[in-house]
Amino acid sequence: MRKNKVDIITLGCSKNLVDSERLMRQFIANGYTVEHDPHTINGEIVVVNTCGFIGDAQEESINMILELGERKRKGRIGKLFVMGCLSERFLNDLTSELPEVDHFYGKFNWNELITDLGKSYYKELATERILTTPRHYAYVKIGEGCNRSCSYCSIPLITGPYQSRPMEELEHEVRHLVEQGVKEFQLIAQDLTYYGLDLYKRMALPELVERISDIPGVEWIRLHYGYPAHFPYELLRVMRECDNVCKYMDIALQHISDPMLRLMRRHITKAETYELIARMREEVPGIHLRTTLMVGHPGETEQDFEELLRFVEEIRFERMGAFAYSHEEGTYAYLHYKDEILPEVKQERLDRLMRVQEGISADLNASKIGQTLRVIVDREEEDFYVGRTEFDSPEVDPEMLITKESRLEIGRFYDVEVTDAQAFELYGKRV
């Protein structure tokens, strides 16, 4: 166990990662040495930032806590703290069932961890963080919470209502990150498109994106987690006119059949969904759409699923993920529907859906062979440099493997010709 060392382990999404990075900044301001997701966990203090969205994520968080509890019992680590979505959602249960944890903090009161240790929480550093990503890109959380009422989703139970961050605060954060060398910004929230309704009484995401795009040094802006109903179409103009706003939109559609959209409480119809996609592709030529779909929601018939398959085959999403429904305690679906679809049926539908998408991804990637694309280099491996195009977000989208014919710098942009492609990878050489 290393004295004065803090190990922070982040589970779940990039929104959790931002919280961990802010916590790291506070620890360092108080004189600690901090490591994030370290190879060797041996800190005097260990903090686990948990995910509580669905069953698999909850299980991963619990297993990590139990493993660290055993290390604590053997004297390999010191104090063990838990924060984040899991403890926000199940605080009372966790406190009674996991006595090896010194203290639990929720999603929003993690700053108390600092003061409970007898240290100072520096409010003037509230928007500063220690980046755990490569220094050329960062996640920027523009809001927290969700006002939607989707049947299956536990996020509103965890985060509460939507809270937008002021534009001036976000601009200040982006300027500070640019000074640190950040060039690429992933704008994130549980729901980007709701931004501003609580604070400005209007959908202000287009204005925010435009203001950030005007900041010198901002090379790429990418948008994650939009909501399809009442989409702010002015955003498409911004995306089309601002060269540094990536032609990329991450928008979770979940399903396409009208019966399922009603059961899921998505507040959009099949016809409106088709209209939204058509308008996006018409107004922003070349846009790459990422979506997430769900199978196995209560009430999903084989006919509903076949309709979803046909939808994916017809639309040919450039990027797509999918997951099986999880019956989450406290959600509308948990209270009003029975989880009657067998796990093996859910898995079979998920596998079929992803096989279809794999073929689509392979075709779309193959169509890029011979094109020259602007690529940012993320890292160097033994045989390749690894980078991404404007259509690819870190960790979830395809990467570009660039041959080592010339020396490339991490974090710089290069023109790369696509020479080969697979379903989830591109191969290229510097032009």
Residues making up the annotated binding site for [4Fe-4S] cluster are 13, 51, 85, 146, 150, 153
Q: Tokens at residue 313, please?
A: 């085959």
Residue 115 β-bridge partners: none
CA distances from 172 to 140, 169, 220, 280 (A): 11, 5, 17, 30
* SS3 of residue 420 by DSSP: strand
Taking the C-alpha atoms of residue 342 and residue 345, their distance in angstroms, rounded to an integer, is 5
HSE of 289 in the Cβ direction (CA atoms, 13 Å)?
A: 25
DSSP codes of every residue in 319-345: EEEEEE----TTSHHHHH----S-HHH
Asked if residues 332 and 151 have their Cβ atoms less than 8 Å apart, the reply is yes
Q: What is the CA radius of gyration of the chain?
A: 22
Asked if residues 273 and 253 have their Cβ atoms less than 8 Å apart, the reply is yes
Cβ neighbour number for residue 63 with a 10 Å cutoff: 11
Taking the C-alpha atoms of residue 180 and residue 135, their distance in angstroms, rounded to an integer, is 8
Please name which of 121, 151, 132, 164 lies closest in space to residue 29, comparing C-alpha atoms: 121
Asked if residues 74 and 83 have their Cβ atoms less than 8 Å apart, the reply is no
CA distances from 394 to 51, 237, 397 (A): 19, 25, 6
Q: Tokens at residue 27, please?
A: 């620890």
Residues 6 or more apart in contact with residue 223 via CB below 8 angstroms = 187, 192, 209, 235, 245, 246, 248, 249, 250
Burial class from Cβ neighbours inside 10 Å (0-12, 13-18, 19+) for residue 362 reads: middle
CA distances from 136 to 67, 180, 248, 260, 386 (A): 33, 9, 19, 41, 14
Instruction: Please report, in range form, the residues annotated as the binding site.
Output: 13, 51, 85, 146, 150, 153
